[in-house]
Every structure is written in C-alpha cells, then in structure tokens.
Structure 1
Amino acid sequence: MIVAIDAGNSRIKWAVHERSGWLDRGVLATADVAWLADAADEWPAVARVVVCNVAGKAVAEAISSVLGKRYGRIVFLHPSAEACGVRNGYEHAWQLGADRWAALIGARGLSTAACLVVCAGTATTVDLLDGTGLFRGGLILPGFDLMRESLARHTAQLPFAEGAFRDEPRNTEDAIFSGCLQAQLGAVERVFATLARECDARCLLTGGAAGHLAAHLQIPFECVDDLILKGLVRYADTV
C-alpha cells in the first residue's frame, strides 16, 4: 500500500494506491498542509508514504511533522542521474524539479515510445523523453492562468480575461485568452517537432490546465490524470 503526495505551489494532491489501483484521493491548498493529518486518519497504517515537493523547505518540514509520528519513514523523491528506466540528461541532475522527475518516471511507466511530457499547472513544463528513456531537456514557462494574471497585474488597461479562444480575436477579453493559450500551444508543438519522427511519438498531457490545451493541440496527444502521482507509485517500488 502506497500513499503518494504531490505538494505543488498551489495545491497538495494525495492518493492511496494498491496493486488493484487507486483506493482514495484528495486535494487541499498547499497553505493548508496541516490538514493532511485529518486525511491521514483514513489511510492504512501500514502504507508507505512517498512525496514529491516543489513548495519549499517549510512545506517539506510540515509534511514530515504531520505524518512522521504515524508513518515513521517518509520518502521524498529527489531527482537523480537515473531512476525507473529514466536517465536524467540535465546538466546538473539535482536542479531538475522533483515534479518534473516524477512525471517523467510516470510517463516511462505508460509508454516506452518517445514522448513529450507536458504538465500544465501554475507553471507549464514541456519535457523531452526519447525512446531510450533519456530525458533530453525541456522548457518551463508561466502557466495559462499565470500569464493572464500577469497581464492583469502589470498593465493598467487589461483585465484578467475570461474570454474565449478565437483564431482571429476581435475583443480584448478574447485577445488575451487566445494569446496566452496560443503561447502555450506554440511552445508544446514546437518542442514536439523534435520528436515527431520517432516511432509512435506522442504528447502526454497532465495538470489542471490540460483541458485548455487539449481542445486545440494539433499533435498526437493523450491526457493522463495524476501523472506525477503515478510516477511516485513507480518510484516507491524501488525504495
């Protein structure tokens, strides 16, 4: 039995997994990390806990404090040179975000073909994983909502746009919405072009903003729920 915890900048997602699949799951604001204690009351006492944390040292310490007495050893995933069939091509392996590393591990568990791993959350990450299991590098850019928030915060005349996607926007709301989404789509599709000739190459798309991208992507793709949690479960079997 494994409890996988994905502590991100905005939210903490958790799920309980056994061989037959997911048994339970939940989500809370990262600022409410102490509430994990209430969730843990329902988790099996014999479970192994594995965590991916990109929310900083204080959140990591809070998770350890909240869960440590009940579960003893809590494993935090950290990027390494190699894990679960994925080789890390970053110049300095330790600089790679744990969430990106977990997503790559999860992607390799789903497919041995080349894939572009896209996590569309507060930030959008676009990572190249070739057919040999080598992570070749990737992009980090502001997420779709963060782009819109930045325009609203730093310009006097532009709102936080709740517009619609248009090929030829003719009002400001649609222009902002479409421009921010086109920037996301363009980054994903340009990077995918470097994998497109590899056999069965595809894009694996996950994260809260995945639906916005999925509606307009013009490359082979698959939406995968909880890819980071899936990677944590794979990693837990090795430690």
Structure 2
Amino acid sequence: MYLFIDAGNTRIKYAGHDGADWLFHDAVPSDASAPLKLPAGFAPQRILVVSVADAICNAFIEAQLASWAECIEWFRSTPERCGLRNGYEEPTQLGADRWAGAIAAWQHVKGACLVVAAGTATTIDVITADGVFAGGCIAPGLEMMRRALARGTAALPLAAGHFEALPRNTADAIFSGCLNAQLGSIARMRGRLPDDAPVLLTGGAAPALRDGIDGNVVELPRLVLEGLLWTARSEQGA
C-alpha cells in the first residue's frame, strides 16, 4: 500500500494506491486546520511526500502520520529519474513538485510536451522529445494576480469577474487581464515546442485556463501524485 502526498502552498493533496489502482484521494488546507482523513484499515507500507509548503505544514504532516513515521520519504529533485533527465543548472534546486509533475508528464507522453501547473503559482515547463526537462518559468497564479491588484491599488477591487474579449466593467477587466497574462505566458512557452506537442494541465485554476489554450490539452488533476507513483513503481522494479 502506498500513500502519496503533495503539499502545496494552499492545499495538501493526498491519495492512496494499492500498486494497481487508486483507492482514494482527498485534500485539506495547508494551514493545518483540518486533519488528513485516511480510510479505516488503510495501512501504507510506503509514504512519499513532495512539499513546497512551510516547515509548519511539513511538521503537521509528520504528526498526522506518526504511526507510520518509518515509512515516510521526502521526495527530492534528482539529475535523472524514470527515464527523464533534469536539465536544470542545479538539478537539486528544481522544485520537487515540478520534477514530480514532469516525471508523470513524460510517462504519459514519452515525447515533447508543455507541463502547466496552475495553482498558487503557475509553473510552465518544457519537456523535449528526447526526454529532457529543459526548463520553465514561474508566475503568480491567477488568484494571486487578482489579489495583488486589489492590495496594490486604491481603486481596483477584489471582485468576481468573468472573461470577456472586450471587458466593459472593472471586475471583468481584472479577471480577463489576469487570465490573458496566464494564457500569454503559456502560448509563448509552447512556441518553443513542435505544434503538435500537447499541454498537460493540472492545478486548481486549470478549469479557468483550459478553454483558452489552443490545440491538444490534457487535464490531469493528480499529475504530481502520479509522478510519485511512477517513482515508487520504478524503484520497486529496480
């Protein structure tokens, strides 16, 4: 039995796997305000955790899993894993969540693709046809952009808006501007890949972005957790 955990800035996503199928998946806030809820009788033999959260969140995870402390492993970026090479200048400095997502993306496509994780931050990463994580960019996420405008200006509100090609009210203008900024970054990065290269999209803001991305878009909500699964399987096979 495996337990895989993806601790982000906003949510802790977690899922159980029996080696053949996903058994459950859930999420709680990263502020330690709600416990992890594991099914009765579930006893993991291996726990892989990827975290970009703070020390408080990491300590919370360890406390929640104290009964299986000896099973916990913290996933880190490496120069190579699961057939994918890490082209970062300092491979160990690549965010572990980006590396896990890239591993899963490579296993899905086995070719050139763009990996977009749209969460608190938006990461947009390039994987080449020969199996190299070539690099990528990090931008504020869609919600962070909206909140930054509200905090940094006197007259712009934090209000719900909708996408419009030519917005005619302030709420729609803010939402449309932030969404276009995200989509523009994705389009520029995608231009570095062949036209038929798919975009693999994950993260809480993925539904808002999906319709604005041209071409082949595959939404994979558990991409990082899948990367942990592929890692566990490859090491088991070794």
Corresponding residue for residue 226 of structure 1? 222
Report the alpha carbon displacement of residue 174 of structure 1 after superposing the two structures with TM.
1.0
Cα distance change on mapping 1:225 and 1:34 into 2, 3 Å: closer
In structure 1, the partner of 2:190 is 192
What TM-score does the superposition give when structure 1 sets the normalisation length? 0.93
Per-residue displacement from partner, 1:151-202 (whole Å, max 9, x unpaired)? 01111100113111111111111110100000000000110011024xx411
The match for 2:201 among 199, 205, 211 is: 205
In the TM superposition, 1:10-159 aligns within 5 A as: 10-32=10-32, 35-36=35-36, 39-40=37-38, 42=40, 44-159=42-157
| Superposed CA RMSD | 1.6
Deviations 1:40-89 (A, max 9, x none): 46362243111111002332233233314335221111001011111111
For 1:58 and 1:94, locate their aligned partners in 2 and report how far apart those are by CA, in whole Å: 22
Given that 2:3 and 2:44 are in contact with CA atoms closer than 8 Å, whether structure 1 keeps it comes out as no
In 2, are the aligned partners of 1:33 and 1:59 still within 8 Å (CA)? no
Q: When the two structures are aligned, how many residues end up with a matched partner?
A: 235
**Larger mean Cα displacement after TM superposition, 167-176 or 65-74:** 65-74
Unaligned runs of 5+ in 2: none
For 1:22, the aligned partner's letter is W
- Structure 1 regions of 5+ residues with no counterpart? none
Bigger shift: residues 42-51 or 88-97:
42-51
What is the alpha-carbon distance in structure 1 between the residues aligned to residue 26 and residue 111 of structure 2?
31
Output the TM-score relative to the length of structure 2: 0.93
* Aligned residue type for 2:93: Q
Q: Secondary structure at the match of 2:65?
A: helix
1:92 and 1:177 map into 2 onto residues whose CA distance is 36
Sequence identity of aligned pairs in percent?
45
Q: In the alignment, residue 171 of structure 1 is paired with which amino acid?
A: N
The change in CA–CA distance for 1:20 and 1:73 in structure 2 (over 3 A counts) is: closer
